Amino acid sequence: MRIIGFGILIIQLALLAAAAPAEILDEIRVLDVDVQLRVVSLAANSIQLIFSIANSGRETYQILDTPTSILSELPRFTAQVSWDAESAIKAKRFTTLRPRDNLMATYELYDYYDFSESGSGTYTLTLPPYIELLDSSGRAFLARFSDQPKQDIQVDNPRFSVAKQKAPTYTFTSNATAYAFRQCNGRELIITAAANQSTELGNFAVQSLQPPSPWSPLATRWFGAFDSFREREIRRTYTRLNNKFATYYTYDCTCPSTFDQFFVYAYVYTDRTDIFVCPWFFNRPGIGVTSRAAILLHEATHIEVSTEDYVYTRLLCLMLAWWSPGRAYMNASSYQYYAEDLVQLRFGSMIYGVLDMGRRVIVNWLHALVAY
């Protein structure tokens, strides 16, 4: 039996009722909503599924209109995505779900999943374990459904999905290393620089996790308490990224322009080696927090070890590490933030030291000037 994490049903909710503190809580809140998955048509060339979410409580929720929302204007978008959640929240892209409201959506599964690649058999459709909430002040925290619906389907002799056919690629050589691009139209050098920096991020992470290095406070921050199995898996994930940014991935710039309204940086399909970069990607800095390099690393973990997008944003990833380290080590953003902070710890202190030295020189010069 195979389990499909039905990405199109990742529900982002914003809570407008009682505020919750923006800190790590003792337990994950359970929402008063009923969610259901139901197959309404099962044929040789069609599998139709109905998803519904009903507000059975007394509070008003709002659905954040993300690329993976049930109300998304991108019905075929089911890839693993890196996006700017903070900008989406500021833009107030919400749909209100009041008490007793019920939202329904119908999906043709062949539009989302290429069953021909995995073959005939029994599949289990599931929802992600957590949903992201905001209180009335815009502070984020995690919650979950009271019940996690599942739906088994039997697929026999699946047809080929045309949604994943590839467009032509071309390559160019930089410093004797070949990079493959698709319709990037003059942005190749920007992506190349980001890819090189992604390699460095991954290498720093591997070095920090090599024995006999202890499990650091930074590792605890993003991946939770020490566990020998998870430590090996995290190190293995970073190791698998080694040198692949330059030679293994194709950087595709055919991201639809409509993705801008969803603040999408990049996305991938886990069964392909393409990294799709969107216009929003080029708005990010080359280095630093949520840099272009970090975004590419985030997406590469999806390809290499099938990481999930359980949660985004730093606060929610901190909560995930605290509550569920067993999921944190499979969360793409956790790998991104660990690598970002590791570089800051290694080089930021040196940079700040130089700045502080410069400040002291200026102060001493002023003192000398006054004395003169």
Where in the chain are the domains? 2-164, 170-346
340 pLDDT more than 90? yes
Strands (E), the chain: 2-5, 13-15, 29-31, 33-43, 46-55, 61-64, 80-83, 94-97, 102-108, 121-126, 131-134, 140-145, 150-155, 170-174, 177-182, 250-252, 264-268, 274-277
The listed CATH number (2.60.40.10, 2.30.30.190, 2.40.50.140, 2.60.40.2970) that belongs to domain 2-164: 2.60.40.2970
Provide the pLDDT confidence category of residue 132 given band limits of 50, 70 and 90.
low
90 pLDDT more than 90? no
277 pLDDT more than 60? yes
Using CA atoms, how far residue 340 sits from 33, 84, 197, 222, 303, in Å, is 36, 16, 11, 11, 19
Q: Is 170-346 a domain of CATH 3.40.390.10?
A: yes
**pLDDT tens digits along 69-84:** 544 544 344 456 665 5
Which tokens is 257 given? 């322009």
Instruction: Classify burial at 218, counting beta carbons within 10 Å of its beta carbon; exposed 0-12, middle 13-18, buried 19 or more.
Output: middle
Which of these, 101, 120, 4, 119, lies nearest to 60 by C-alpha position?
101
Provide the pLDDT confidence category of residue 247 given band limits of 50, 70 and 90.
confident
> Given this chain, do its domains 2-164 and 170-346 carry the same CATH topology?
no
Instruction: Classify burial at 67, counting beta carbons within 10 Å of its beta carbon; exposed 0-12, middle 13-18, buried 19 or more.
Output: buried
Half-sphere exposure of 333 (CA within 13 A, CB side): 23
Average pLDDT of the chain to the nearest whole number? 73
Q: What is the CA radius of gyration of the chain?
A: 23
pTM of full prediction above 0.75: no
d(CA 278, CA 259): 7
372 pLDDT more than 60? no
